[in-house]
Structure 1
Amino acid sequence: MVTLTPDAIDRHLLVLLQRDLPLTARPYAAIAEEVGLPEDEVLTHIRRLGDGRRGSLIREIGPIFDTRALGYRSTLVAVEVPEDRVEGTAAVINGHPGVSHNYRREHQWNLWFTLAVPSTEDIETAVKTLVGAAGGFPHLSLPALRTFKIGVRLGLESGDGLEEVEAGVATPPNGLRPPNERDKAFIRELQRGIEIVAEPFAQAAQALAVSQEELLQWMREAKSRGWLRRFAAVLHHRRAGYLANGMAVWEVPRERVDEVAAVACRLPQVSHCYERVTYPNWPYSLFTMIHALNREECQAVARRISGEAGVREYSILFGTKEYKKARLKYFA
């Protein structure tokens, strides 16, 4: 597949689309006004960027929900799989609807996936059942204890680099009202994504038998409740030129985690930063995802964190194959 080469207008639009789509009936008209172009011209550019058959840069445009706020429990799982069994194991894991990401990485623990289940299910039981079905190989469940940063915008304009999103994410407040059946219906419909048309929310509103304004008001309320982080475009990182994906893991004493995380979160190349559980055979308490144009840049970012934070024990697990990357389908 030949990847499109974006022009200057494309690059600017891609930056705007990654931030947050305006919650109006005609969001692309609002974007067009911001960039000083006619709405139909903006739509033409975005359709070109979102046509998967032509090597599009846009993976999808849709809602980014907060897993914990919606009542789900999640974990990151590392599996040690014999090299000749990795493909088959990954295929079984991909079949679980709660798996949103699944990567092969360069390490003894060579298969890494995220799993989320409703709070009515026990996450550790779900992990053991899934890994057992996939071959029963040694595994580690590494749930996040704290989230320091989540999300990234890929800078595509000259000199942009990466931009941070949602650094210092707050834990959803206690007592947050769980989604009711009406809310779940809205979530199920919206997570289908939207078409690149002048009124992209009209189809979802029709399916829900509500007006567009009722749907948009629900989305605004969902943001205020912490359920909806933003409605935005997610790009294909590699097609956008960010070829290196390194998960840097850091051996940090618990009393220094906040300090080291603050150093890492300041860097735009770090898209995610979590404190996770440790084990005797896995002493790494801090995880940072680094996105860069190449491995050398990833390694340079890690060296900078190491030097500024004074942490010498770390490792970078580079992703070598993406088996699955998809938005989690809630209340499916």
Structure 2
Amino acid sequence: MTEFEKDLLAYLQEGIPIVENPFTTIAKKLSVTEDQVIESIKKLKNEKIIRQISPIYDTKALGYDSSLVAFKVKDIDKAVSVINAHPGVSHNYERNDDFNIWFTLAVPPDSKIGLEDTVEILADLSEAEDYVILKTVKMYKIGVKLTFNRLDEKSENGNRTSSSEKVNLYEIEKNIIKVTQEDIPLDPRPFNIFADRLGISVYTLLHKLNQFKEKGVMRRFAAILYHRKAGFKANGMTVWKVPEDKADAVGEYFASFKAVSHCYLRTVNGKWSYNLFSMIHGREKEEIEDFVEKLSKETGINDYKILYSTREFKKKRVRYFSDEFKHWVEAVINGKRSGANIQG
């Protein structure tokens, strides 16, 4: 990548401006032309470095119930087929643990069966030997920004992100979310295209989107990268057993590093006792292991595991307010229990 492309990626990961001519604004910041920005984004997408540029909406603020879930399965292919068919699964990975399938699941506020029953059904269809639901207790950081050279680089400003409370939305606002969660059109006036689809003025749309940011409904409007193509080939979800009275201090310390993209305190149970989760991105496993050892020494937390993702089965934004959720539940209620048949 050229230096300009690296600068562009860093800017896009922070968040694009929600204005009528966003690429013009970016071009001025980087001292290039609008055409250079748009053509470079097209190139980086064709090279599978940029995955998508779109809003990152807050699941909880939209009223969805969500959790990290881990299954212990023998037939991985069957389990993946079942799990990936659910519209609320955004990420699904194989990891090096007895609980070998890890995925994130969200269910809408009007779900007829709820999150726990959904997990039970998925486990049944997957023939899982066991499973754990690991819900968020506290969020210290969320946001992948691969803009660092060394894993021990600190963020320039505070990265702590509090969990948002549910926001009541009007139908027009739900429609805006449904339309704008798609990849942004690479057009000089992309929001005009979204506004035309919605049948509203672009100024109304821009006002609503900026309002979403202010209320915490949207975290940011930003680029998500293909990590491996961007040079970050190792992905270590490091889980720590931290005493309750130290959890906040340790969580906030881990979150201060750029290489830590996600940091959560999660529920524990009789099957899983690691309560603090830190997602660490690096170029090689050895780099991550050295960094984790350093974190362990500095915090005095010695009971931990690094769960590497060995295979990625799904990484896709949840389509909020989609009829796919209703179709999936209807298929379950109607008895179509073969996994692959339960699709939106």
Q: TM-score, normalised by structure 2?
A: 0.89
Partner of 1:304: 294
One-letter amino acid of the structure 2 residue matched with residue 104 of structure 1: E
Cα distance per residue 1:146-193 (max 9 Å; x no partner): 11110121127x7799775972112324xx541121111000000122
Partner of 2:137: 145
Alpha-carbon distance, 1:275 to partner: 0.6
Q: Which moved more, 1:319-328 or 1:162-171?
A: 162-171
One-letter amino acid of the structure 2 residue matched with residue 171 of structure 1: S
- Cα distance change, pair 166–193 in 1 and its aligned pair in 2 (3 A): farther
Alpha-carbon distance, 1:249 to partner: 0.5
Aligned residue among 54, 61, 76 for 1:69 = 61
Cα distance per residue 1:224-278 (max 9 Å; x no partner): 1110111111010000000000010001121211121122112211111111111
Cα distance per residue 1:11-58 (max 9 Å; x no partner): 11111111111111110000101111111122111111122xxx3210
Matched, 1:259 2:254: no
**C-alpha distance in structure 2 between counterparts of 1:115 and 1:77, whole Å:** 7
Q: Is the 8 A contact 1:263 1:308 kept in 2?
A: no
Partner of 1:217: 207
One-letter amino acid of the structure 2 residue matched with residue 225 of structure 1: K
- Cα distance change, pair 163–188 in 1 and its aligned pair in 2 (3 A): farther
Aligned residue among 165, 188, 196 for 1:198 = 188
Q: Which moved more, 1:301-310 or 1:59-68?
A: 301-310
Q: Is the 8 A contact 2:54 2:184 kept in 1?
A: yes
- Cα distance change, pair 303–89 in 1 and its aligned pair in 2 (3 A): same
One-letter amino acid of the structure 2 residue matched with residue 178 of structure 1: N
Alpha-carbon distance, 1:81 to partner: 1.1
- Matched residues, percent identical? 38
Matched, 1:38 2:28: no
**C-alpha distance in structure 1 between counterparts of 2:92 and 2:285, whole Å:** 20
**C-alpha distance in structure 2 between counterparts of 1:318 and 1:71, whole Å:** 31
Q: Is the 8 A contact 1:259 1:309 kept in 2?
A: no
Q: Which moved more, 1:290-299 or 1:196-205?
A: 196-205
Partner of 1:126: 118
Partner of 2:338: none
Aligned length: 319
**C-alpha distance in structure 2 between counterparts of 1:237 and 1:195, whole Å:** 22
One-letter amino acid of the structure 1 residue matched with residue 71 of structure 2: V
Q: Which runs of 5+ in 1 are unaligned?
A: 1-5
Q: TM-score, normalised by structure 1?
A: 0.92
One-letter amino acid of the structure 1 residue matched with residue 77 of structure 2: E
Q: Which runs of 5+ in 2 are unaligned?
A: 323-344
Q: What is the 5 A alignment of 1:1-332?
A: 6-51=1-46, 55-82=47-74, 85-121=75-111, 122-155=114-147, 164=155, 167-173=159-165, 177-332=167-322
Runs of 4+ displaced beyond 4 Å: 158-166
One-letter amino acid of the structure 2 residue matched with residue 127 of structure 1: V
Q: Is the 8 A contact 1:274 1:286 kept in 2?
A: yes
**C-alpha distance in structure 1 between counterparts of 2:301 and 2:37, whole Å:** 46
**C-alpha distance in structure 1 between counterparts of 2:67 and 2:140, whole Å:** 16
